[in-house]
A and B are shown apart, each in its own frame.
Chain A
Amino acid sequence: MMQRDPGRCRDMQGIADTSREMQTHPGRCRELQTHPGRCRHIQGDAGSCRARGRAGAPAVPPPRGQGALPRAGGPEGRSRWSPGRRERRDARAAAGAAPGAAPGAAAAAGPGAVCRRRGAVPGPAAPRPARPRHPAPRQSLDFWKLLYVLLKQIHGGSWTESDAIGAQVRFVQWALWYHGYRRPQLRRLPADGSVGSRELLLAFSWLLHCPGLLQRLLAHNRVQTGDHTSVCTCEDDVPERQEGPGEAGPEGRVDVRYLQWLHGRLRLQWCSLHAQHQEQCRLLHKIHSFTSGSHMDQNLGHFSVTEADLIRHPENYKQLLQLLESETTQLEAFLEWKQLEPVYWQWMETVLDDMAEEGNMCVSQDADVEKRRLPEVTSCCPWAARLAGQMDRLSRDLLALQEQLHQLVAQRKAAWWEKVAAREELQKERFSATARKAQESTELKLRGLPSLCAPQKTRMHGLCRLVLRSKQPASKVASGQCVSKEAAAALRAAEVIRELQLREASLQRELQQLQQQCRTRLDGIAEGLEGVICISP
């Protein structure tokens, strides 16, 4: 559908993220607390998303902390341990899994209820529930499970009801670390999932914002056309060093032949994958060329794989229709969440305020829950700050060098051209031919250089759909329905290929340099050994 209605797709992209699921998430958490059986509604497949939507419908019992309640305990006694404060803190801790605070709870009760209550929400000072609640292990467990299910979905895994809580906890911690969430308190939570609902709430909000949990879920559950290919010309960033044990001890030593074995397997599997990709492209080309001219949308002009399959097996239309309907429902829910999102963040601010009062962390001024990476990082990896400083220095030096190089090149060029002009007058044709050849070869070499030190060229990243253009049969144009936030642009396959070839050439050069270094090192070592002749490969 996204392809048939690119205008709509652009609307989607213009909007920041959420969906009705997210809107109902706080409610669902609360539901989980009250209706553990409804855990099952959290399914990975698109088909039951409708169930999800329905779960957030007004059939849900009304939220506990209703309406705008006065602050329990009043403004008197703002000491840390005043009963009112403790009550609020406990309540909010409990609310970590099941926010009793009105905005979240109100959101749970469905869009209509939320809109009614919007007027009643008194701004940043969110109403507190009347009764203090102690955090129950059940809520934490359910929250862990929720995060587990969501993260499993976007990581493409499958899950079962019977996955052990220990495994769930570990997976969630790993997935959060993978996405860049470095808060140490999360790592310290116990593996049985009995506490930590507030930490999980923070993590959840962070997931909403930074890695775009909702966009990913939407993208994951999108109906596939089968024509997609991924494009990525990103430069590799500095790899993150894993915190973990240092050098492996003698027990951890692995025979180098085993490593060679594994490397060989990887290479062979990569070759298989390559062959399969080639086959896929070949078949895709067949489909596109055979069905060209048959599509209603003139922009595309040919069928996608899903459409072609539908023609061959028309009985599958029901399934496709279901998938499209569930996708539509998801998108509608997303739109609704978008409208209610500010309320959620306001409420999160109050949670943060509360935590700040406990002196746990330093809060940024944004409404978003954006974790400061550096403080956490330096507490875990002391060398990170030094590394960052070194990198800054290096990049400054590189820029300076680049300037100098440009100047030098310009000077040399000018001098050379003078000489060439003088020479040319002496010998006309033959010299100009050799000069041209020399110029081409230097251009080739220079072309490689800027790619090494170019600051930030346009990076293409994301999924693209392949479209065969019949007007220029030699080229394939990819119209980008990119997942990223850039405007949908049409990329030409030839450009992408050229970029990738440049990148490949530079990587090859790097590889050769590294191999040369290894060779010289080996030679150096072999010199020192008696009676050993080293024959380099």
Chain B
Amino acid sequence: MSIVTVQLGQCGNQIGHELFSALCRDSRGTHGLCSNNENQSYQDSCKERFFCEEESAVPAARAVLVDMEPKVISQALSMAASSGHWRYSSHSHFCQKQGSGNNWANGYCVHGPRHKEAIMELVQREAERCDRLGGFLTIMSMAGGTGSGLGAFVTQCLRDAFPTSFILNHVIWPYGTGEVIVQNYNSVLTLSHLYHSSDALLVHENDVIHKICAQLLNIKQISFRDVNQVIAHQLGSVFQPAHLPCAVSLSDMSSCGFLLSGDLLESLVPHPEFRMLGLRNIPQMAESSLPYSTFSWPGLLRQMLIANAQMEEGIDWQVRPPQAGSCIPCTNKALHFNTSIANLLILRGKDVHSVELGSFQDPSLYTSWLNPQDAFTAWKTPRAFNKYEKSAALVSNSQFLLKPLDSIVGKAWNMFASKAYLHQYTKFGIQEEDFLDCFTTLEQVISSYTNL
């Protein structure tokens, strides 16, 4: 089962490159305490999923690189080739000579249709090289020009061309105090268009990652490279193979052991209105400290529940689910409590099979119309990830993005109401009605999440 990655724009290409490096490094790395057979299946599965074996020994990433400028792409290509362990295919990139000037409309209405044929042909070629196409992963930033506008257009084309494949959009949420004036417009437009075409939006907020780098990793001068590496590490901990707890024996694993990306989507985003996913990964620490740290599973999980500040806010372990027949459950919960629709927990490393997960199945964490058995899924693998003896990742479909989303929509609306910078969009074909549609979509999303 293979995933084709589409890297869009400067941000997308840089992150994509880091992601493949992390995956390759982990796959070739030490396998901790799991058996050789398990490790072998793990490596095979990872390779099949993200890389394509070619006649030359170095595997080629299943990726299509798209950007309007040549600089970032050529950097990515050369860095990959020089690593010696993987590379990009020689003809899987598309770039032009000029940029898009951070203009969403330029990317969506001009560059998109103009280059649609070329880009889709590259994607089609990658897709045909897969025996089983699991789906598409697109990586882009929400606020820029190329990544966001062209990315939204490409996602739509992907949906049209592959109506039954999964599409997971990985979007980078801009800094709250970002430098691009129109980033709110871009974000609103991107989000609403992606909401229609893709199956799930996996969001990384720049602010949060920045905080991780500063506080947990103790990096003084945080560069984009550091941020990207953290993001790649978190993505890798989700996408690397894992399996359901019931498949304990090897014979289970060999047949259809490692879960497909469809299962990830199935457990988290079946509902069409709730598509936003957030990601938390524990532990995050500098590589230098790794050899000196040991963790216990209960400690790790408790730390995850607490460190994930949105989840911890207001969580009162005395809260019991409301009695049947009482008034609307929402009023029982603290106003800023983060209600989840669904959670997926991925555990990797030593002693995974004996972990107690009761705290994640507390009904007070979840919305009233879904019971915890449906809402919570856990994947495990004894194979360690990236030298961490034990690590856990939580992918969560919850209200965590409500506040940031609300603030972005509010700011964008204020700008829209005063018609600031609108001419830059209208001159390329995005009319005010399109803006209004986008606002409507996002208001609907906000209200759905608020009423959990």
Contact = CB atoms under 8 A, between A and B. Distances in A.
A509 interface: no
B270 A262 contact: yes
A342 B164 CA distance: 53
A268 B132 contact: no
B165 A264 contact: no
Interface stretch (B136-144, B259-267, B330-338): B259-267
Interface string A427-463: 0000000000000000000000000000000000000
A252 B271 CA distance: 21
Contact of A267 (B131, B132, B263, B270): B270
Interface stretch (A38-46, A48-56, A253-261): A253-261
A265 interface: yes
A275 interface: yes
A10 interface: no
Contacts of B132: 275-276, 278-279
Contacts of B166: 268, 271
B270 A258 contact: no
A396 interface: no
Nearest to B260: A272
Interface in B1-31: 1
B440 interface: yes
B131 A265 contact: no
Contacts of B131: 279, 282-283
Nearest to A265: B270
Contacts of A258: 369-370
A260 to B, nearest CB: 5
Given A261-B370, A271-B164, A535-B440, A278 B266 contact: no
B396 to A, nearest CB: 16
Interface in B118-141: 131-134
B270 A263 contact: yes
A535 B436 CA distance: 12
A240 to B, nearest CB: 28
Interface string B248-273: 00000000000010110110011111
A264 B271 contact: yes
B374 interface: yes
A268 B270 contact: yes
A271 B1 CA distance: 13
Nearest to B199: A268
Interface in A491-537: 535
B361 to A, nearest CB: 17
Given A278-B133, A283-B131, A265 B266 contact: yes
A14 to B, nearest CB: 39
Contacts of B262: 268-269, 271-272, 275
B370 A275 contact: no
A260 B199 CA distance: 14
Contacts of A276: 132
A274 B270 contact: no
A332 to B, nearest CB: 34
Nearest to A266: B270
B81 to A, nearest CB: 30
Contacts of A269: 262, 266
Contacts of A267: 270
Nearest to A282: B131
Contacts of A262: 270
Contacts of A270: 164
A308 B133 CA distance: 24
B165 A275 contact: yes
A366 to B, nearest CB: 48
Contact of A264 (B263, B270, B368): B270
B369 A274 contact: no
Interface size class of B (residues with CB under 8 A): 20 to 34
Contacts, number: 58
A268 B266 contact: yes
A494 to B, nearest CB: 22
Interface in B221-248: none
A264 B269 contact: yes
Contacts of A257: 271, 369-370
Contacts of A282: 131
Contacts of B374: 261
A271 B440 contact: no
Contacts of A275: 1, 132-134, 164-165, 262
B10 to A, nearest CB: 32
Contacts of A279: 131-132
A278 B130 CA distance: 11
A271 B272 CA distance: 15
A3 to B, nearest CB: 26
Given A271-B165, A271-B262, A275-B262, A264 B134 contact: no
Contacts of A264: 269-272
Interface string B337-378: 000000000000000000000000000000011100010000
Interface in B267-312: 269-273
Given A261-B374, A279-B131, A274 B272 contact: no
A269 B370 CA distance: 19
Interface in B393-435: none
Contacts of B370: 257-258, 261
A535 B437 CA distance: 10
Contacts of B164: 270-271, 274-275
Contacts of B368: 255
Contact of A260 (B134, B260, B266, B271): B271
A268 B265 contact: yes
A110 B170 CA distance: 69
Contacts of A278: 132-133
Nearest to B437: A535
A279 B370 CA distance: 34
Contacts of B272: 260, 264
Nearest to A267: B270
A263 B263 CA distance: 15
Interface in A268-298: 268-272, 274-276, 278-279, 282-283
A297 B264 CA distance: 46
Interface string A308-332: 0000000000000000000000000
Contacts of A283: 131
Contacts of A255: 368-369
Contacts of B265: 268
Contacts of B440: 535
A88 B12 CA distance: 85
Nearest to B444: A535
A44 to B, nearest CB: 21
A265 B375 CA distance: 12
Of A260, A272, A283, the most chain B CB neighbours within 10 A belong to A272
Of A255, A264, A274, the most chain B CB neighbours within 10 A belong to A264
A451 B260 CA distance: 39
A272 B269 CA distance: 14
Contacts of B271: 257, 260-261, 264
Contacts of A535: 440
A537 to B, nearest CB: 10
A125 to B, nearest CB: 58
Interface in A210-232: none
B275 to A, nearest CB: 10
29 contacts: A255-B369, A257-B271, A257-B369, A257-B370, A260-B270, A260-B271, A260-B273, A261-B270, A261-B271, A261-B369, A261-B370, A261-B374, A263-B270, A264-B270, A265-B270, A267-B270, A268-B166, A268-B266, A268-B270, A269-B262, A272-B260, A272-B262, A274-B164, A275-B133, A275-B165, A276-B132, A279-B132, A282-B131, A283-B131
The 7 A-B residue pairs with the shortest CB-CB distance, nearest first, are A264-B270, A255-B369, A279-B132, A272-B262, A265-B270, A268-B266, A271-B164
Interface of A: 255, 257-258, 260-265, 267-272, 274-276, 278-279, 282-283, 535
Given A260-B270, A265-B270, 15 more contacts: A258-B369, A258-B370, A260-B273, A261-B369, A261-B370, A264-B271, A268-B199, A268-B266, A268-B270, A271-B164, A271-B165, A272-B263, A275-B164, A276-B132, A278-B132
